Chain A
């Protein structure tokens, strides 16, 4: 075997290694040619435009690109060829490959840039999955040079095309054609380094083809492999030399000659050692050395030989062979920890040593420490990850995890593997890997915390790349399976805060509730309790808000937070009409802030906030007194007390923004208490100190409204009658306002009267429209659908583009639908439902937001139901339930309503599987929804009906069981 001069070896090696490390040099494809030209013309405006067009094609806007290219061609007729390159790409992207080819044919066929365009077309077709067409183009290209090869000046271009084609064929699984392509390059007599690399690549392909073939065909391929390997070996000692040794050994193993394979490697081992030394001396990464693979192969061959000898009873010889095997395997992972053979060698050596001990051999080995091997492999994986090469990183992680499963630190690596798939957006593989953490590592105490932490990191990684769906899903998995993790509470709080910030209060509830119920010792427990109360308040669920706030005020230390908490508790009571309890809380707060202000504020901001709380508390306390009515005989006492409280408030806060309200209410109370002079003084003060306030300008209305709120309906009616008795003394706006208050309080007839007055006397078109719309609403409330239609049609007559288009359209549709439902004959019925549809369509014209669309769907469904079109209504509801944007807090209430409406309809139609699916979806999407209990009932009933019908039911997901299943026996 010829040995090279080490210097030559070193120089050749350097070149070769650079080739390996930097990849095959890419050359002149059409795009590359363009870029090369661009490099020559850095300030060329045309090139910038062409680059832009190329970018448009890449972003799937080839039609826009073509328009620009047409313009460029008109402006630069002499640059047609340059422009044509990009035009070809645009045409192909539009599916117009034939047109692209025709264009290429208009250029001289003996020019390299024409051929570059042709091949670029081939590349694009390949990228679009049109393999046959791509092949045809490339084969046509090669056929041109079949007899005499490419001219000298085209050799580089030809080689690059052939190499690229070979890669394409390998990816497509066509190894024969890949081999032919490499052979074409060889036929151009490339320089030595390239020739040797190609020979090895061809040899590897030939070997693989031989393995898959049989008989004579196999022999042909194997002979080729052998021949190429010998050629490489004759050429010198380098990395390809090492590869050839490995290939030959594999070949001999395939031919059933393991001893020959061993002999081959042993023969060349001295040369490989020299190569190793050269690499080491030049500080190259040892993972490039072929020695690792060769010694691994030797190790496995010796192991097989040893097992064979043992089976034949030749223990002494087996012992020697085992010794050799272990020596080689050890050396691989100790000396080449970075190589891809190290993990397998280490694991194999460890396993072999254990087996030998169990078989009764006494084995003395140095301690097998695989940590350096694992660390080296993991370092490489992390480096690839940091370079965004997620596919390669995933492959590396898998190698490590498959060879060294379930050691300390492996759970974290499983998490990192999952992150690779997350970044590749491969959701399927991501879920599979996450399941390994939950099902395998999670249940084991030694790995549990690490597995949970890996999931937390995965959630953070998902948030970082804004894959919120994955972040949510993985968080949920974490919460379900790792509820005891030290960081569970913190993550729950973070997720809750995120939902809270998006106003998704019902979803935020779930997270905060879990903390409050389960993580009672967590540092975030009290903040979670606070947030939970806020969620309930935002949702208007005052009952639960009270319960939580009661707990909160007993737990929170004395300070600003307690003051705020107590105020919110009082407010919650007030909203529930539990006025006495509200008054008690307001009173506690007032007392605390007046008597011990320093205890409740530690800085000026808190002091200011507390002053505002005190102001509010005093006002609302007075308000609550004014609303107390039971027992009736005590009412005057309450009203007197309310008056005192208002006075106290006005004394403490003479310039308060609530002053007008307080004075107005005080005046009303004093009137009711027959203290007329005092009442007059109050009104006089209102007019003097707050002349521009609504209460001052609209004293009669304010009186009436206040009396209504106090429950003094008769007195309120008398006051409003004043307005109707002297209509000229009041404006249309005041009548409208009165009407609104009446409508809110359920005084429909008076409301109608007020609105009618407003509509008749209003001069501003906007006010007229408001009045007519409100009349429509009032009529609808009364069930006077004919009246509602009349008023709403009047509204549209006044202004066909009214700002009330959507609500009036929906209401008008509803009114017509109700009239249609009650119609005496088919014709009338048809007229009304058609009118309803027109009204809906009218409303639909101004729909802009998702919540408006959701409402439209709901209204459509209602209309369809009234019409008797059950299937249509069902489809409309289901569209919302299944496809509505459940993440949008404004759409969620409509989805919930749709669910509530559709479930009885599905039951009626016997669509029980749909009921189960809908209920399951609801429970996932609305874990704290108002229909949770109902949804469970519906689902249980549907499952029961399905079981009776004999259909297969999957069990309820999430471990829930709606019915117990009888079991026999127990575990053995």
Chain B
């Protein structure tokens, strides 16, 4: 009879983990090779595409091509501007965010500010300006660093500006090639586009596919379940009830689940 100890020995055992080196303080430049430079201040010079980094010893220019990212303190006005957007005060937020974009160019916060500007313009239904802002943002950031929600807002700007051909092409491309979380979101967006054009069967296929084969994409799943259930109900398909049940049991506190529970 084997003992517990020997059985345990037979199990797969993990060996050692080492703490990562380095602790961050103040402004920092993180290079592509992984090294980090502490700085007193950093600014970006667009004309030469360089970061002008002031350390305790000297001020040095560093080509942007060598830099993975920089870390500087958050602009003080950013949080308030974002709060203004959330409460619908777009006109108050816009000038603040435009200044941040200007003052923090190349310093990461400009991109957040751009996203904020995009949200503000979307809120004001000024889709052209929203589109312009997001196009700048997409130029500034590599694709893999663009958060899902930002990408979705860009697509919404395209839809609002009625650039359907570009939107469809982008969505088809994302569905085909982007990481699965992005693809799932693109499927929802494409479904919305089809639904808006009265092509409900095509919309349903996109939502349903997300439900069936993208279960792990939690950000998209509640919406996919909700919208697929709605369209199935229009077709008097009894599976609408199953999908609603899945929504309320998997995401009981999600707004879509609450809408379903309230009879929506």
Binding site for B on A (CB under 8 A): 173, 270, 273, 315, 319, 322-323, 326-327, 330-331, 334, 356, 359-366, 398, 401-403, 405-406, 414, 428-429, 431-433, 435-436, 439-440, 442-444, 952, 954-955, 965, 967-972
Contact B177 A327 (CB under 8 A): no
Q: In the complex, are the beta carbons of B19 and A435 less than 8 A apart?
A: no
B166 and chain A: residue at smallest CB distance: A967
The 8 closest A-B pairs by CB, nearest first: A360-B20, A443-B176, A972-B138, A972-B135, A361-B17, A362-B18, A402-B215, A432-B208
Decide: A432 and B17 in contact? CB cutoff 8 A. no
Distance (Å) between the CB of A6 and the closest chain B CB? 11
- Inter-chain residue pair count (beta carbon < 8 A): 108
* Distance in angstroms between the alpha carbons of A366 and B11 in the assembled complex: 12
One of A331, A429, A971 near B208 (C-beta < 8 A): A429
8 CB-based A-B contacts, threshold 8 Å: A273-B7, A323-B17, A401-B213, A429-B208, A433-B213, A439-B176, A970-B166, A971-B166
Q: Are B18 and A429 in contact (CB under 8 A)?
A: no
Residue B71 is within 8 A (CB to CB) of chain A in the complex: no
Question: CB-CB < 8 A to A967: which residues of B?
Answer: 163, 165-166
Determine which of A273, A359, A433, A954 lies in contact with B20 in the assembled complex, contact meaning CB atoms within 8 Å. A359
Q: Contact at B209–A443, with CB atoms within 8 Å?
A: no
B169: A residues at CB distance < 8 A: 971
Interface size class of B (residues with CB under 8 A): 35 or more
With an 8 A cutoff between CB atoms, is B246 at the interface? Answer: no
Known A361-B20, A436-B209; contact A327-B138, beta-carbon cutoff 8 A: no
Q: A319-B17, A323-B17, A356-B17 are in contact. Are A428 and B163 (CB under 8 A)?
A: no
| Contact status of A954 and B198, CB under 8 A, knowing A356-B17, A398-B212 | yes
Q: How far is the CA of A219 from the CA of B15 in the complex (A)?
A: 43
Complex contact A969–B163 (CB within 8 A): yes
- Using Cβ atoms and an 8 Å threshold, which residues of chain A touch B170? 971
The reply to whether the CB of B150 lies closer than 8 angstroms to some CB of chain A is no
In the assembled complex, the CB of A291 is this many whole angstroms from the nearest CB of chain B, namely 12
- Give the interface centre of B131, B163, B176 by most chain A CB atoms within 10 Å: B176
Is there a chain A Cβ closer than 8 Å to B12's Cβ?
Answer: yes
Q: Are the C-beta atoms of B199 and A364 separated by less than 8 Å?
A: no
**Complex contact A327–B11 (CB within 8 A):** yes
Residues in B neighbouring A364, C-beta threshold 8 A:
14-16
In the complex, which residues of chain A have a beta carbon less than 8 angstroms from the beta carbon of B198? 952, 954
| CA distance in complex: A331, B11 (Å) | 7
Q: State in angstroms the CA–CA spacing of A971 and B138 once bound together.
A: 10
Instruction: Evaluate contact between A327 and B213: CB separation under 8 angstroms.
Output: no
Partner of A327, one of B12, B21, B164: B12
Contacts of A327 in B (CB 8 A): 11-14
Residues 179-197 of B at the A interface (beta carbon under 8 Å): 180, 183, 197
Q: A489 to B144, alpha carbons, bound, how many Å?
A: 39
Bound-state CA distance A365–B14 (Å) is 6
Known: A431-B205, A432-B208, A436-B209. 15 other contacts (CB 8 A): A327-B13, A361-B19, A362-B17, A366-B12, A398-B215, A402-B214, A402-B216, A433-B213, A435-B209, A440-B176, A967-B165, A968-B161, A968-B163, A972-B134, A972-B154
- Closest chain B residue to A421, Cβ basis: B212
In the complex, what distance in Å separates the CA atom of A680 from the CA atom of B199? 77
Report Cα–Cα, A363/B16, bound state, in Å. Answer: 7
Chain A residues, Cβ within 8 Å of B205: 428, 431-432, 435
For residue B5, CB closer than 8 A to chain A, the reply is no
> Which chain A positions have C-beta within 8 A of B113?
none
Given A273-B7, A366-B12, A433 and B18 contact (CB-CB distance below 8 Å): no
Most chain B CB neighbours (cut-off 10 Å) among A326, A432, A965: A432
- How far is A689 from B163 in the complex, measured between Cα atoms in Å? 82
- Chain B, residue nearest A328 (CB): B11
Query: Is B172 at the interface (CB under 8 A from chain A)?
Result: yes
Closest to A964 in B: B165
Inter-chain contact A440/B175, CB cutoff 8 Å: yes
Residues A428 and B15 in contact, CB atoms below 8 Å apart = no
Closest Cβ–Cβ distance, residue B163 to chain A (whole Å): 6
B139 near A: Cβ within 8 Å? yes
Query: Are A405 and B14 also in contact (CB < 8 A) when A360-B20, A972-B138 are?
Result: no
Within B127-184, which residues are at the interface with A (CB < 8 Å)?
131, 134-135, 138-139, 154, 161, 163-166, 169-170, 172, 175-177, 180, 183
Chain B residue contacts of A952, Cβ below 8 A? 197-198
Q: Is the CB of A363 within 8 A of B209?
A: no
Contact residues in A for B139 (Cβ distance below 8 Å): 972
* Contact of B216 with A403 in the complex, beta carbons under 8 Å: yes
B residues within 8 A CB of A432?
Answer: 205, 208-209, 212
Partner of A440, one of B183, B208, B215, B237: B183
Asked if B4 CB lies within 8 Å of chain A CBs, one says yes
- B84-125 Cβ-contact flags toward A at 8 Å (1 or 0): 000000000000000000000000000000000000000000
Instruction: Answer whether residue B204 sits at the interface, using C-beta atoms and an 8 A cutoff.
Output: yes
Structural contact, A402 and B208, CB atoms closer than 8 A: no
Which residues of chain B are within 8 angstroms of A428 by Cβ–Cβ distance? Answer: 204-205, 208, 237
Nearest chain A CB to B101 CB, angstrom units: 16
**Bound form: Cα–Cα A270–B205 in Å:** 49
Interface 1/0s, chain B 11-37, versus A by CB < 8 A?
111111111110000000000000000
Q: Are B17's CB and A331's CB within 8 A?
A: no
CB closest residue in chain A, given B199: A954
Shortest distance from the beta carbon of A654 to any chain B beta carbon, whole Å: 69
**B233-259 with Cβ < 8 A to chain A:** 237, 245
How far apart sit A128 and B11, CA to CA, in the bound complex (Å)? 54
CB <8 Å contact, A443 and B177: yes
On chain B, the residues within 8 Å of A440 by CB distance are 175-176, 183
Residues on A with beta carbons closer than 8 Å to the beta carbon of B15? 364
Shortest CB-to-CB span from A289 to chain B, Å, is 15
Question: What are the residues of chain B within 8 A of A972 when measuring CB–CB?
Answer: 134-135, 138-139, 154
